[in-house]
A = this chain, B = another copy of it.
Amino acid sequence: MSFTLIHKDKNSRARLGRLVTVRGDIDTPIFMPVATQGTVKALSNRDLRECKAEIILANAYHLYLRPGLEIIKNAGGLHKFMAWDKPILTDSGGYQVFSLARLRKVKDIGVEFQSHIDGSRHFLTPENVIDTQCILGSDILMPLDECLHYPCIKDEAQTAMKRTIQWAKRSKEALGRWQQANHGSQLLFGIVQGATYPDLRKSCVEQLAEMSFSGYSIGGISVGEPQDLMYNIVQSTCEYLPENFPRYLMGVGTPQDIISAVDFGVDMFDCVVPTRYGRNGTAFTSRGKIVVRNASFTNDLAPLDEECSCFVCREYSRSYIRHLLNAGEILGSAAVSYHNTYFYLEFMHKIRQAIKQDDFTGFKKNFLDRYNNTA
């Protein structure tokens, strides 16, 4: 077993766990900064270490298209290529094909699409997607899945869910073949689809659990559905999921989303929000988001977040960072991206501490009150 459930909060479904990989252990609940193209945008590997990142996510789809597998293979795998020696989780490209690619054609055998970069044609199958992630040297792999927009009718959701299950089965077999040939010890998660239909989600969980994956991802979330519905789906899916396996909510989300999902029993998260918002000059703070560009910060000598002890908050004022952003300076984007990543990882650390002390509910209320500026 690669996952150990260490403690369950007495007053919620929040859980403390440990996920073991060959490149290091990960305490959950955890947030994974997103290194779409093999770099967490605007952060160096040292920045990530300082932010106490334990695992990062990279996008197989993006890296497969650019720079391409040969270059990363030549470097000795993605870890060496990007000089990051802790665990890497890769997604399969299912979501990117769905959101980025052109002329997508989904068949049972796989997906044909055109690159969003140069229009070149590619064909993804569950098997070659596993091979891609193995060549990258990923520690935790995702199978190819079919992801739909919200809203979608139940028939379509069911077809996609069934295909996702078939693909999960083929992915597991493909990884088995790879591991037999190469003595790998990668973990493979199953991805739960089923759109906003609880019975489809339940059926998907049951069929995946029967195949026994190392963990379970909740996919097809944050694809346009209202927040209440998203929370309902996450909550009910967590209820169906087997207890002793890590649960990963893909692509979510804001601090509010994360703390709510932890409350439902989710263990792992990834999202581009900290760095995307950071580049555009929006900082996450214990008192909510602030748009640093705003005129109100012109002469504000406080750090981005008075309660943060990150490098940026120790060194720079809101006034200075606002100037950098207004002047189009790289350091402005980099500084807020760094702070936001640190903020997210520190936030997860505090969540883990609260669960350990059976105080998750109190921590959540207190955090949200202050984050929403109502306390």
Contacts and interface: CB of A to CB of B under 8 A. Distances in A.
A128 interface: no
Nearest to A38: B323
A271 interface: no
Contact of A71 (B43, B44, B81, B298): B298
A172 interface: no
The listed residue with most B CB atoms (<10 A of its CB), out of A299, A319, A320, is: A320
B71 A331 contact: no
Contact of A81 (B39, B46, B320, B333): B320
Contact of A83 (B41, B70, B320, B326): B320
Nearest to A40: B331
Contacts of A43: 331
Contacts of A316: 83
A109 interface: no
A7 to B, nearest CB: 37
Contacts of A81: 317, 319-320, 323
Q: How many copies of this chain are found per oligomer? A: 2
A315 B42 contact: no
Contacts of A331: 39, 41-44
Interface string A297-320: 011010000000001000111011
Contacts of A299: 70-71, 74-75
Contacts of A335: 44
A217 to B, nearest CB: 26
A26 interface: no
B41 A323 contact: no
Nearest to A299: B74
Contacts of A37: 323-324, 327, 329
Interface string A12-53: 000000000000000000000000011101111110000000
Interface in A53-97: 66-67, 70-71, 74-75, 81-83
B71 A317 contact: no
Interface residues of A, number: 39
Nearest to A83: B315
B330 A41 contact: yes
Contacts of A301: 74-75
B66 A319 contact: no
Contact of A323 (B44, B66, B327, B333): B66
Nearest to A279: B330
A273 interface: no
A74 B45 CA distance: 35
A249 interface: no
A81 to B, nearest CB: 5
A351 interface: no
Given A66-B327, A327-B37, A320 B42 contact: no
Contacts of A311: 44, 46
A334 interface: yes
A320 B41 contact: no
Contacts of A66: 323, 326-327
Nearest to A338: B44
Contacts of A39: 324, 329, 331
Given A67-B319, A81-B319, 11 more contacts: A37-B324, A39-B329, A39-B331, A67-B322, A67-B326, A67-B327, A71-B299, A74-B299, A74-B319, A81-B317, A334-B334
